[in-house]
Structure formats: structure tokens, C-alpha cells
Chains A and B, each alone.
Chain A
Amino acid sequence: MTYRLVEFELSKPPPAIELTPEENGVGLIGRWNDQLVGFEMIAVHSGSTLSAEELRTLADQRFAPRVLIAMMEAELTAGGSRHKPLPSLSIAICTKDRAERLSRLLHSLDAVRDNSPFGQVEIVVVDNASTDSATREAVESFDGIRYVFEPKAGLDFARNAALQAATGALIAYLDDDVVVDRNWLMGLAKACSDNPGAGGFTGLVLPYRLDTEAQIYFERRGGFGRGFYRNEFRGSRFDNPLHPVGSGVLGAGCNMAFERALLIELGGFDEALDTGAPLPGGGDLDIFYRVLRSGRTMVYEPQFAVYHEHRETIAQLRRQYWSWGLGMMAFLVKSSRSDHELRSRHDAMVRWWFVDQTRMLVRAASALRGRDVRFGLNELWGGICGLAGEYDRSCTRTKAIRELNR
């Protein structure tokens, strides 16, 4: 099972897409005047051809409403040529033993860095306790990239190391399993100049490839997608009494940026979250939540886009869903403890989460969708583990890591 990813420039007539016998679907990345406006997955018979006519119909149904909004937006912004100078930017990449993927990401950054709208751009790679020198060598093969070694294993240790090492007023974090879109930097620049005073930004995450069943399944089940509409988040919402506790709607940690001074003021990332294998999640939820709680706005900007390499195998994917449940609950346990004011929202979120997961499970079970049931159970089990003291266990573990590296 393989889907081909195809870029579809909607302002031009579509060319027909001929699929090879191995391919049985397409992931269409819709652009209008180079601006990302939609993503659609279409299943077809392997080896068949999507004619220009079919693509046109598809474009009318799925992409046209969003194109109209983009056109309207373009008209409204035309003439408003108030270009304030943008701050300096640090791009931080935390990586561990993935030199190949890191090089791929650095290549994509090379392409966007050349015409940067930011005052100054630096790239900081934090080598998070890699076991060999491949990461360092990969960094050295590129020009002008700073290399920082962080011996304490754990993503949030690395993120904090980047925070200390960086010099930019703004810091953008990228995971090593992504590649940036050609307009990634422009998207971040747009988000910055459109939203003076925002504390942080998140962006669109599209699939890098859809080559395996697990990758296709993951993307179909929602992936990291947060849609093509800009969104602005503040400390509370009329239409969601639990907000900002469900901060997962803001985006994902593989593509996020913050005002650096704000992160330092907030004490950086919680090192007991996102610690790698034992607790591989929750760190992004936690930092989004704390930015919102500090009274600052977070903005989701779809043009600030990356492509994420999804888990390749079903086993890895199962683990991912488990880790989502685990990370979510570890975060909720932590912030329910530290943020007394919103405690009732956290407790309500825990209840809501379990009810929602159960509801999805029941729905999957009654429709005999075995795989959905298994993944649902994994996520639910992760949640139970998370609730059962995982945050405290992780605190103990991180303390031991700190001791060891003192």
C-alpha cells in the first residue's frame, strides 16, 4: 500500500496523474499561488490514472472554498505594506542518532535560508547524547551551523540546551524527522508580523511520505493535521470551557516557535516530559499550556509548514498512540498539581478524555474496525499508565540523569 504525494497548483490546469501498479492512492497537496490551501487523500485502484477532469472535479469540491478564502485574504492584505523589521531567529533542531534525517532537514533549511525575511538567522543543532560521531559529522558538512552537545538524554533537556545556546529573539524548534516546506520561513515571518505580541507559533504538519500502510493509516486518522485555517489561542474560550487544558489542538512539538525571552522567563521546557523512550510525549502540550497561562497568545499559521516522516510500521504506530495517551495524562497530572486555579478543568479533561476514548473504541468495535480498536486500546492503556504515577516516575528518572551528568 503506497500513496503518491502530489503537489497540485490550483491556479493552473491540472495534469493527469498516472499511478504505478504499486501505488493505490494519492495525497494531494493543494496550493494556490504557491500558498498551501489543502491536503486530500484519495484512494484509487492501483495503477489507474486520475484524469485531468477528475482532478478538476476534486479541486472544485475539496479545494475551491479554501481558495476563495485565500483570494479574499490576499485582496484584503494588498496595500497594507507595513513591514516592520523582523527580529533575529534561532532555528533549533534536537536530534539523537539520526544523522541521515538530520542532513535531509538541513538541506531543506539551506534552501529556505537564502532569502530570509528575518534580521538574522542561526541554526543550532543540539546533539542529544548521540552514541557516535555521525551527527557531528553531518552538521560539519553544512556551512554556518552551530553544534551543541547535550549529554543528558531527553528531548526537553535538548530543547532547554538550545534555549540557552541560542541568541535569537525568536526560537523555532524542529524535530529531526521533519523537512521544512519551501515557504516555511515566510510562513513564520507572516505569523510574526501579523501577530505582534504573540508568545508562540505553531504550524501545519503534512506527511513527508505515505509509503507504508502505517503512514497512510496514521494520516487518515488525523495525523498531526490541524488544518488550513489560521487560528489564534488565548487563555480561555467561550466555546470550550476546558480550554486551555486541551492544548493539543494548538499544534505539535515538531514544528513550533516561541519568543525566546518568554520561554526563559517561564523556566524553559519541563525536562520530566518528552524524556525519550520511557515518556516520549507531553512536552509540547505543557509548553503551549504554560504560554497561554502566562497571558500570551499562541497563533497557528498553516503557511508555517513542515513535512513529517510518520512511523513506518504498525508496531511503531501502536507505540505512538500509546505514547500520546501516556504524554497527555502525564501532562494533565502535572499541571493539575501545579496550576490549582484550573484544577477543575484538568480533572474534567481527564474524565472527558477517557469517555471520549471509550466512545471511539465502542464505535470502532461496533463497526468491526479491528485496527482502530487495537490502536484505541493502546492509547487508552497509555492514558491509564500516564495517570498511574508516570509523571512522578519520570521526575525520578530525570533527576537520576541530572545526577549522572553533573
Chain B
Amino acid sequence: MTAPSLPIRHLDLSTMRADTHPGDEAAFSIFWWKELPLGMRASLPEELPFSEAQLRQFTAEYGAAQLSARSPALGAPLRATHEGKPKQALALSQLLVEHDLVGELDRLAAAPALPATQISVVICTRDRGEALAECLRSVTTQRSAPGEIVVVDNSSEGSAKPICGRFPGVRHVREPRPGLSIARNTGIRMSRGDVIAFTDDDVELHPGWIVEIGRAFADQSIDALTGLVLPARLDTQAQRMFQFDKGGFGSTFIPLRFDNRFFAETRPHGAHVWKMGAGANMAFRRNLFERIGLFDERLGAGAAGCSEDSELWYRMLANGGVCLYEPRAVVFHHHRRDLAGLRRQIRSYMKGHVAALIVQHDAFHDRGNFVRIFGQLPLYFLKSFLKGLLEGRRGQPATLAPEIAGYAAGLQFLFRPGWRGKHAPRLLIDGERA
């Protein structure tokens, strides 16, 4: 964490023989096997360049992890355990008859060429000018074009309109009522695709994003999808703090199925739905919204803070739905550059988290949510505090204060009159007019 800057580089292990990094500065390496993301690693200058043996070791370890998670002969697909980690299902007898593992990895990594016209991309934005332009550039250069691209403009002035105008085929929809959940719901109502894929205006998409979503939804048992969120830049201290101290948006490169068993396992202490993914990279089947309703407008940026995504996953799992976490669907997220922004974000995350737990408790009378609020979270604060104190780690206290502030702010929803009686809006089959 002492590195002054952390340039991001992409290494394709399928073709790489030697690392040419000069070893003069730190680097954040993201490893791929062709189109398949394998893993990532931050290194100080002394750790670079990677030796040939190290590259081979990364290939073997990352490759093996992909094979056991993706090759049906080796026990794939994997279910998530209650820690949100894969539950291995490898059988030695099947393994020993495999002969061409590298070839199998090649096959798994091959990108599909599927049409993606059944997919609507919905991007909610609010006064983010150039960031939105970058995002749209990556949406319009996808390998397979989506059926439609809807930008829901949540600004009061409609400031996104001229930017959308620069990209042919992008629909600009205004939603002046503030709130990310409201904007997303408007996006759902205004879109037509069978699958609705969400991303944010501070995100750039990998060119294969849409086609990977299409491939995943070809499996009819999937109701929702989340994907891998990689850092776009790690230039500032705030960005590195978010990525490394706060864990970024997750770091596993293994596809996982989140289903009712994951839900049941974690339910006693508040189903750990936040481990399933991030709102910057998620997709749903339209008929799921018809079944369980839309995003809860009490939650999300502009309202309680965030967690509108995880609350929807909670509702989905509680109703027997299945979410696939598919790290092949990759987006690159621009973390907040400044510390003040990071603190605000952390505060609002925690506030939204508590609010979502209250909403979940009320909707399903599930005490586990309160166990999380009054047991797990205070304990987590105490542990972080002691850890920061004892190890003298920089950064820990800096993010702890806004977390506790957010927690306290979230508790107000317990007592706010009228707030707890509301519900998420419904999606009627024939759209908004009904």
C-alpha cells in the first residue's frame, strides 16, 4: 500500500512467455486467458517482473480454478457456500482421465458469437458528463450489439441529453424524480428486452460484456446475473483504499450459483446477499420483476444510500430465484478519486445496508436481519477499531468513522413514521400505463 501509484496492466497468460515489466514501479496485474479473466495481483517494484516460473504457476493455479468451476466433467457449476466462496465438487476419478487441460481451457475461454438483441442495457446517470460519454463509448462498441440502450437521466436539468446525442441508437429518457431506484425502475418500464442489464455511468464495459450476459441467460434456470467489477484506475490513495482495504467490489474469478441453499445457510444472521455482486454489473430477466416487484424506492443512492441491488437479490432468493455470478461479464469501475468522496460513499453504503436490513426484516419477518444489525455489525466495528489500534494500520480508522456514522444514520429508519410500511413498486405486465 505504500506504492505512490498503481498502473493497471493486462496480461494474457495464454500467449505470454516472459514478463517485460522493467520493475521500476509498482503495478496491478490483471490476468487473462484470452477472453477469460483469471485473477489479479498487486505488486511492488521489487516483486516485478514476474519470473517465468511464477507465470507458469499463476497459469496452473488460475487455470485449474477455472477448469474445476467451468468444466462440467470436473464438477461445474459450483454452488456458493455461505461465505460466498465456491464449494468444490472435484472428483479425482474424473480428473485423472483428463488429458488436454490446456485445450479445455482454450475451449472454455472461447468467446461466443451470439446475437444479443433480447437484451436491453439500462444506464442511470446524474450529472456525470464525460464519465457517461466514456461509458457509452464502451456500450456502443460491444462485440454483439444489444437490442437497445436506454440512458435514464436522473438530473434535474436533463444534462445527459447532448451526450446521448453523440451516440447513435442511445435512447435518452428523463426521470427528474431523484433516486437511483426510481431511475432504474423507470429504465425497466421504458425498456423492452427480455433481459435487462444494468450498469452505472462511472463504469466502462469490456467489449464482451453483452455477449457474455446473453450466454449466461441462455440457461433458463437463471433469473439474475452479476459479474466481475474490476478497478479502472488505481491512481489515488482513495481508489487504492477502496480496492484493497474495503475489498473493492469483490475479487473472485470463479462463477458461482447463488440459490435458496445459500439463502438458507446465511439467513440466521441476515442473508449475505451483498456478497453476490454489485449494482454496477447486474442483469435480470424481465419476468422476475413481474413476479417479485421492482427496486425498492426507499433504498439506493438519492434515498437511503445503497443496497437496492442486494435487497432485490434477497427478495429473489426468498422467492426461490437463482442468481449466477459470472465473472466473464466484466466491467471496469472508476472508484472515487478523492478521500472525501470515498468517506461519503462508505457512509452511504453502511446507511443503505442498515436500511435494507430493516426493509428485509419487515417484508419477510426474518430476525436474521436484526441479528446482523445489532450483533454482527457492532462486533465488526469493535474488531476494526481494535485492529486499527493494535496494528497501527493507516486507513482503517479513516474508513471506520464514516462507517459508524452511516450505521447510526441507518438506524433512524427503524423509527421513521410511515417509512417501514411501504413496499417496492410492482411491474405490471403491460408497463406503466396500467
Q: Count chain A CB atoms within 10 A of each CB in B68, B74, B88, B96 and give the residue with the most.
A: B96
The segment out of A68-76, A151-159, A304-312, A388-396 that lies at the interface is A68-76
The segment out of B45-53, B151-159, B178-186, B259-267 that lies at the interface is B45-53
Which single member of B1, B26, B51, B91 contacts A241 (CB below 8 Å)?
B1
* Pair B92/A73 contact, Cβ less than 8 Å: no
* Pair A238/B51 contact, Cβ less than 8 Å: no
Chain A 213-251: CB-based contact to B (< 8 A → 1; otherwise 0): 000000000000000011010111111010000000000
* Pair A75/B90 contact, Cβ less than 8 Å: no
How far is it, in angstroms, between the C-alpha of A20 and the C-alpha of B202 when the chains are bound? 66
Cβ contacts under 8 Å, A234 to chain B: 46-47
Q: Count chain B CB atoms within 10 A of each CB in A10, A72, A77, A348 and give the residue with the most.
A: A72
* Pair A238/B44 contact, Cβ less than 8 Å: yes
- CB of B352 within 8 A of chain A? no
Which single member of B3, B57, B88 contacts A73 (CB below 8 Å)?
B57
* Pair B91/A72 contact, Cβ less than 8 Å: no
- CB of B101 within 8 A of chain A? yes
- CB of B54 within 8 A of chain A? yes
Chain B 15-39: CB-based contact to A (< 8 A → 1; otherwise 0): 0000000000010000000000000
Cβ contacts under 8 Å, B96 to chain A: 10-11, 67
How far is it, in angstroms, between the C-alpha of A152 and the C-alpha of B54 when the chains are bound? 41
- CB of B220 within 8 A of chain A? no
The segment out of A54-62, A93-101, A365-373, A397-405 that lies at the interface is A54-62
Chain A 237-275: CB-based contact to B (< 8 A → 1; otherwise 0): 111010000000000000000000000000000000000
Q: Count chain A CB atoms within 10 A of each CB in B57, B61, B74, B92 and give the residue with the most.
A: B92
Shortest distance in angstroms between B109's beta carbon and chain A's nearest beta carbon? 14
- CB of A39 within 8 A of chain B? no
Which single member of A59, A235, A351 contacts B92 (CB below 8 Å)?
A59
How far is it, in angstroms, between the C-alpha of A75 and the C-alpha of B91 when the chains are bound? 19
The closest CB in chain A to the CB of B42 belongs to A238
Chain B 98-118: CB-based contact to A (< 8 A → 1; otherwise 0): 101110000000000000000
Shortest distance in angstroms between B133's beta carbon and chain A's nearest beta carbon? 33
* Pair B95/A68 contact, Cβ less than 8 Å: yes
How far is it, in angstroms, between the C-alpha of A355 and the C-alpha of B96 when the chains are bound? 45
* Pair B67/A68 contact, Cβ less than 8 Å: yes
- CB of B43 within 8 A of chain A? yes
- CB of B421 within 8 A of chain A? no
Which single member of B42, B46, B102 contacts A75 (CB below 8 Å)?
B102
Cβ contacts under 8 Å, B42 to chain A: 238-239
The closest CB in chain A to the CB of B47 belongs to A234
Cβ contacts under 8 Å, A297 to chain B: 51
Which single member of B47, B53, B102 contacts A237 (CB below 8 Å)?
B47
- CB of A15 within 8 A of chain B? no
Shortest distance in angstroms between A202's beta carbon and chain B's nearest beta carbon? 15
* Pair A10/B92 contact, Cβ less than 8 Å: yes
- CB of A7 within 8 A of chain B? no
Which single member of B90, B390, B392 contacts A64 (CB below 8 Å)?
B90
Give chain B interface residues in 214-239, CB to chain A under 8 Å. Answer: none
Cβ contacts under 8 Å, B95 to chain A: 64, 67-68, 71
Q: Count chain B CB atoms within 10 A of each CB in A75, A194, A239, A297 and give the residue with the most.
A: A75
* Pair B92/A63 contact, Cβ less than 8 Å: yes
- CB of A212 within 8 A of chain B? no
- CB of A278 within 8 A of chain B? no
Q: Given A232-B51, A234-B46, A65–B88 Cβ distance below 8 Å?
A: yes
Shortest distance in angstroms between A56's beta carbon and chain B's nearest beta carbon? 7
How far is it, in angstroms, between the C-alpha of A33 and the C-alpha of B391 when the chains are bound? 44
How far is it, in angstroms, between the C-alpha of A230 and the C-alpha of B59 when the chains are bound? 13
* Pair B92/A64 contact, Cβ less than 8 Å: yes
Give chain B interface residues in 358-396, CB to chain A under 8 Å. Answer: 390-392
Main secondary structure of the interface of A (DSSP, over half): helix
The closest CB in chain B to the CB of A70 belongs to B60
Shortest distance in angstroms between B6's beta carbon and chain A's nearest beta carbon? 9
- CB of A195 within 8 A of chain B? yes
Which single member of B46, B52, B391 contacts A352 (CB below 8 Å)?
B391
* Pair B2/A241 contact, Cβ less than 8 Å: yes
* Pair A68/B68 contact, Cβ less than 8 Å: yes
* Pair B60/A351 contact, Cβ less than 8 Å: no
The closest CB in chain A to the CB of B102 belongs to A75
How far is it, in angstroms, between the C-alpha of A229 and the C-alpha of B59 when the chains are bound? 13
Shortest distance in angstroms between B103's beta carbon and chain A's nearest beta carbon? 9
* Pair A238/B59 contact, Cβ less than 8 Å: no
Give chain A interface residues in 335-361, CB to chain B under 8 Å. Answer: 348, 351-352, 355
* Pair B98/A195 contact, Cβ less than 8 Å: no
- CB of B56 within 8 A of chain A? yes
How far is it, in angstroms, between the C-alpha of A297 and the C-alpha of B56 when the chains are bound? 17
How far is it, in angstroms, between the C-alpha of A68 and the C-alpha of B101 when the chains are bound? 9
Cβ contacts under 8 Å, A241 to chain B: 1-2
* Pair A237/B44 contact, Cβ less than 8 Å: yes
Cβ contacts under 8 Å, B64 to chain A: 65, 68-69, 71-72
* Pair B47/A236 contact, Cβ less than 8 Å: yes
* Pair A64/B60 contact, Cβ less than 8 Å: no
How far is it, in angstroms, between the C-alpha of A57 and the C-alpha of B127 when the chains are bound? 57
* Pair A73/B60 contact, Cβ less than 8 Å: yes
* Pair B68/A236 contact, Cβ less than 8 Å: no
- CB of B63 within 8 A of chain A? yes
Which single member of A65, A67, A194, A239 contacts B53 (CB below 8 Å)?
A194
* Pair A238/B54 contact, Cβ less than 8 Å: no
Give chain A interface residues in 2-23, CB to chain B under 8 Å. Answer: 10-11
Q: Given A56-B92, A76-B102, A238–B57 Cβ distance below 8 Å?
A: no
The closest CB in chain B to the CB of A232 belongs to B54
Which single member of B51, B60, B91, B102 contacts A60 (CB below 8 Å)?
B91
Cβ contacts under 8 Å, A352 to chain B: 391
Shortest distance in angstroms between A189's beta carbon and chain B's nearest beta carbon? 13
Cβ contacts under 8 Å, B101 to chain A: 68, 71-72, 75
Cβ contacts under 8 Å, A194 to chain B: 52-53
Which single member of A67, A229, A232, A237 contacts B61 (CB below 8 Å)?
A229
* Pair A67/B392 contact, Cβ less than 8 Å: no
Q: Count chain A CB atoms within 10 A of each CB in B95, B96, B98 and give the residue with the most.
A: B95
How far is it, in angstroms, between the C-alpha of A195 and the C-alpha of B1 when the chains are bound? 27
- Which residues from chain B sit less than 8 Å from chain A, CB to CB? 1-3, 26, 41-44, 46-47, 51-54, 56-57, 59-61, 63-64, 67-68, 74, 88, 90-93, 95-96, 98, 100-102, 390-392
What are 9 A-B pairs at a CB distance below 8 A? Answer: A56-B92, A64-B91, A73-B56, A76-B56, A232-B53, A232-B54, A234-B47, A238-B44, A351-B392
- Which residues from chain A sit less than 8 Å from chain B, CB to CB? 10-11, 56, 59-61, 63-65, 67-73, 75-77, 194-195, 229-230, 232, 234-239, 241, 297, 299, 348, 351-352, 355
The 10 lowest CB-CB distance pairs between A and B, nearest first, are A64-B90, A73-B60, A194-B53, A72-B60, A68-B64, A238-B42, A69-B64, A235-B46, A236-B46, A64-B92
Other than A65-B64, A238-B43, give 5 A-B pairs with Cβ distance below 8 A.
Answer: A56-B93, A65-B88, A194-B52, A229-B57, A238-B1
